[in-house]
Structure 1
Amino acid sequence: MPTPIPPGPGQESVWDYPRPPRLEASPRRIRVVFNGEVIADSCRPQRVLETSHPPVYYLPPEDVQMAYFQPTTKASFCEWKGMAAYYTITVGNRQVENGAWYYPEPTGPFRDIAHYIAVYPGKMDACYVDDEQVQAQPGDFYGGWITSDIVGPFKGGMGTWGW
């Protein structure tokens, strides 16, 4: 197991997040920009907190420009949240296949994020928590959002699969 970075004032350590993960409402403003367009802007996000992972933000579909999101045939299974479905995002001449996901029928503890949409921040032009541009969680499997108030180390990079 890696050595957790001690959080400073106003910071959270991902090593203090629970397993199984916890869902909580967030008062933060979340914005997502792709190909120069704001494709999501929400002050009503939910976030999932899981040991060793930066938070993943889920946005109500009413706060997402759904005209840019097309369902795909991809599906995946989360042991905590259930079956996920995916969207390809297309804005103008740019497209990212399976760049967003959602849970149509999440398990009981996560039912508040049914149909809420999460995006991979590393596949977008920019994602913001309030006015801070986030850094994407390492790797191509997870969709965590790293901000200055979150400390790790974070799962996702080389050699972290077994954490």
Structure 2
Amino acid sequence: MLKALWNGVILAQSDRCKTVEGNYYFPPDTVNREYFKESKTHTNCFWKGEASYYDIEVDGKINKDGAWYYPNPKEKAKNIQNYVAFYPRVQIES
């Protein structure tokens, strides 16, 4: 079971994570949404498509663009559609 932790809070927890390019992607139904706010940031990956980002807020502290996901990925990345990954500022533990 993997956990994503930041600022003393479990942001996501799952035994169904997928690993892509060294990042753990958590299923959307395992993410604690109360700490996530949509960001205006978007980036593009040549094989996964356009990524959307979340700001993470815990106890008044903000982790800007601390998580990302692919709402409409390209065909090769369909297996991670809407799964959430985290930047290294968020600790991943087993």
Offset of 1:39 from its aligned partner? Answer: 1.1
Which residue in the other structure is 1:32 paired with? 4
Which residue in the other structure is 2:82 paired with? 115
Note the 1:75-154 alignment, pairs <5 A: 75-121=42-88, 123-124=89-90, 126-128=91-93, 130=94
Q: What letter is aligned with 2:13?
A: D
Which residue in the other structure is 2:27 paired with? 60
TM-score of the pair, normalised by structure 2: 0.94
Structure 2 SS opposite 1:44 = coil
Give per-residue Cα distances to partners, 1:25-79, cap 9 Å, x unaligned: xxxx221111111111110001113xxxxx1111111111011110011000000
Offset of 1:93 from its aligned partner? Answer: 2.0
Q: What letter is aligned with 2:92?
A: C
Please list every run of at least 4 consecutive aligned residues from structure 1 whose deviation after the TM superposition is greater than 2 angstroms.
none
Gap runs ≥5 in structure 2: none
Offset of 1:127 from its aligned partner? Answer: 1.6
Gap runs ≥5 in structure 1: 1-28, 50-54, 131-163
Q: How many residues align?
A: 94
Structure 2 SS opposite 1:112 = helix
TM-score of the pair, normalised by structure 1: 0.55
RMSD: 1.0
Structure with greater Cα Rg: 1
**% identical equivalent positions:** 36
Q: What letter is aligned with 1:93?
A: G
Bigger proportion of residues as strand: 2
